[in-house]
Amino acid sequence: MEIVKNVKRTCYVPYHWCYGYYNTLFFERLKEEKVIYGSRCTSCGKVVVPTTAVCARCFAPTEKDPVPVSDEGYIDSFTIVYLPYPGQPSTPPYAYGMIKLDGTSNLFMHMIGGVPLEEIKVGMRVKAVWNEERRGDFYDIKYFQPVKD
Amino acid sequence: MKEVGIIAWAHSEFSPRNEGMSRNELLYQVTKKVLEEAGMEIGQIDMVISASCDTVDGTSISNAYVVDEMGAYMKEESKVEEDGAYALAYAYYRLLTGQYNNCLVVSHGKISDSAPAFYTNMSCDPFLLRPLGLTGESAAALQARVYAHRFGATEEDFAAVAVKNRRLGSINPHTQLKSPVTLEEVLASPVVASPLRELTTAPVTDGAAAVIMATGEYARERGKDLVRVEGIGFSQDLYYPGNKDLSTSASAKAAAAMAYREAQVKDPLRELDFAEITEQHAFYELLLYEALGWCGPGEGRRLLAEGVTDREGEFPVNPSGGALCANPVMSAGLVRVVECCRQLTGTAEGYQLPKPVRRALAHACSGLFLQSNLAIILGI
């Protein structure tokens, strides 16, 4: 006879998270325009991605109108994930990184793909690869792919 | 200012999967143990402050279900959804008000009931980081790459931390991983998320910890020795990792500065005798040497290589083996406090530091990318 030592259950909690004004701006424009938007701080003047209500450092509001930024930049940091776990975006190994988009002053995090993983390096130029079927969410950009300088 | 400190401490056994005990039983065990250490009955406890995590437990308001086992019936009880060391900070400020004599601080986490990756991914916002599948490991990996790139640190530098801490842990009877590892073994262990490997990452640990805090008057009346809290500092960094410098931890710097100010520590390396820090990843230890003010930016590996932070060094760090030997979720920081108390009272049997020690720093952290940090100065 097997001793019963635990019970297996899953917590299923559906959410409908509101994007709010600035996330709506960001994701709607990814979907409709294939353009990445950031926000300019009314105090320090820096442009950060994605669009946001507040400059994280200054605690100052950003300008109401979002700022279109480049969908190209360079890799500031990356990791190749080997660990399998539930809810992963794809099957390991895969890579994501922190990307300095041209004309912005912070780093944007996204997947890095379309390249053999061992070739990914810090400083490499990358460009967004867009999904043709866009739904107004994070994966309207498939990943950032290395491009020639 | 009022004198407040710790009069008793305890933690559970640490294991990767405590199949034999429920979280409630684990908590009852550790609560009874700490009361026994203090020579107190539950009726003598003025209030309880607990630390646990709803996602880890799979229960909203995770303290509600374990109130019986922590002895909080008909007492003032509140919970912090942070490491137990933050509950200790909360208790410290309450005791300073003079309204209470003592407080039971207790934390628990049975992470093996779920999975660490699930819990850390759930801590991400649902729009920008969670879709990446970001977890504690991959977030730390990104930070490790920034640190390595900025200062020219290598995987060998990170591995050397694991070698030191696993060697120190091998003589600590209370920890989970009691076997030393070689540099070659660390570097040959599987990559979890590059550049982090299995052996530069803390193990999965189920566990609970508890301390009883008291005012100086209460401790003296009862003839109990007090490990004094001389200063506490904590700080939060920005949330989105792309907005901050990941080669250091601004919040760890700020937390240390606040604790040093309160404890009137001007030169921590000389005025403190040792430290216990929550290095859930080997490179955290090097980064924290710098952020906590023990050396300049990028000099962490020099401090390690020179043996300054080893057992025989002038400033031992993690003489218990640290979080790389046992990482009980929600208790790892409070266990750093417990390990400081053992060393300060000369009760670290088998791994007592060879030099006399009177003053130490305990560090805890919370969130991805070392977002929140807490520093506590303890003294006898």
B292-318 pLDDT, tens per residue? Answer: 999 999 999 999 999 999 999 999 999
Cα B308 to chain centroid, rounded = 21
Report pLDDT for B20: 92
For residue A2, pLDDT over 90 is answered with no
Distance of alpha carbon A78 from alpha carbon A97, whole angstroms: 4
DSSP-assigned letter for residue B328: B
CB A48 within 8 A of CB A107: no
Report pLDDT for B1: 76
Count of CB pairs separated by less than 8 Å, A with B: 109
For residue A23, pLDDT over 90 is answered with yes
Burial B142-172 (b: 16+ CB within 10 A, else e): bbbbbbbeebebebebbbbbbbbbbbbbbbb
A24-60 pLDDT, tens per residue? Answer: 999 999 999 999 999 999 999 999 999 999 998 999 9
B141·A79 Cβ contact <8 A? yes
Q: Calculate mean pLDDT across residues B86-106.
A: 97
Which residue, B6, B289, B142, is CA-closest to A110?
Answer: B142
A45-101 pLDDT, tens per residue? Answer: 999 999 999 998 999 999 999 999 999 999 999 999 999 987 788 899 999 999 999
Domains of chain B, start order: 4-115+205-221 (3.40.47.10)
For residue A149, pLDDT over 80 is answered with no
B262-273 pLDDT, tens per residue? Answer: 999 999 999 999
A109·B242 Cβ contact <8 A? yes
CB A141 within 8 A of CB A125: no
For B218, counting Cβ atoms within 10 Å of its Cβ (0-12 exposed, 13-18 middle, 19+ buried), the class is buried
Report pLDDT for A148: 85
Residue A18 Cα, gap to closest chain B Cα (Å): 10
Q: Calculate mean pLDDT across residues B83-97.
A: 98
**Which residues in chain A have Cβ-Cβ distances shorter than 8 Å to B121?**
85, 87
Q: Calculate mean pLDDT across residues B136-158.
A: 97
Report pLDDT for A64: 92
Judged by a CB distance cut-off of 8 A, whether residue B22 touches chain A is no
Nearest CA in chain A to B247: A77
Nearest-by-Cβ selection for B242 from A85, A86, A106: A106
CB A80 within 8 A of CB A120: yes
**Which residues in chain B have Cβ-Cβ distances shorter than 8 Å to A138?**
127-128, 131-132
B58·A11 Cβ contact <8 A? yes
Q: Which of A10-14, A52-56, B199-203 has the lowest mean pLDDT?
A: A10-14
Distance of alpha carbon B336 from alpha carbon B341, whole angstroms: 9
pLDDT band at B115; cut points 50, 70, 90: confident
Q: Calculate mean pLDDT across residues B276-301.
A: 98
Whether residue A50 has a cis bond before it, omega within 30° of 0: yes
Nearest CA in chain A to B55: A11
B40-50 pLDDT, tens per residue? Answer: 999 999 999 99
Collect all residues from A whose CB is shorter than 8 A from any CB in B. Answer: 5-6, 9, 11, 15, 17, 19, 23, 27, 48-50, 56-57, 76-83, 85-90, 96-98, 106-111, 122, 137-139
Q: Calculate mean pLDDT across residues B145-165.
A: 98
Report pLDDT for B116: 87
A91-136 pLDDT, tens per residue? Answer: 999 999 999 999 999 999 999 999 999 999 999 999 999 999 999 9
Judged by a CB distance cut-off of 8 A, whether residue B112 touches chain A is no
A89 compared with A22, residue with greater pLDDT? A22
Report pLDDT for A86: 77
pLDDT band at B35; cut points 50, 70, 90: very high
Judged by a CB distance cut-off of 8 A, whether residue B153 touches chain A is no
The tokens for B115 are 């999975």
A85 Rama sector, left if φ>0, alpha if ψ -120 to 50, beta otherwise: beta
pLDDT band at A3; cut points 50, 70, 90: confident
Residue A52 Cα, gap to closest chain B Cα (Å): 11
Distance of alpha carbon B180 from alpha carbon B162, whole angstroms: 9
Q: What ipTM was reported for this prediction? A: 0.95
Distance of alpha carbon B104 from alpha carbon B50, whole angstroms: 8
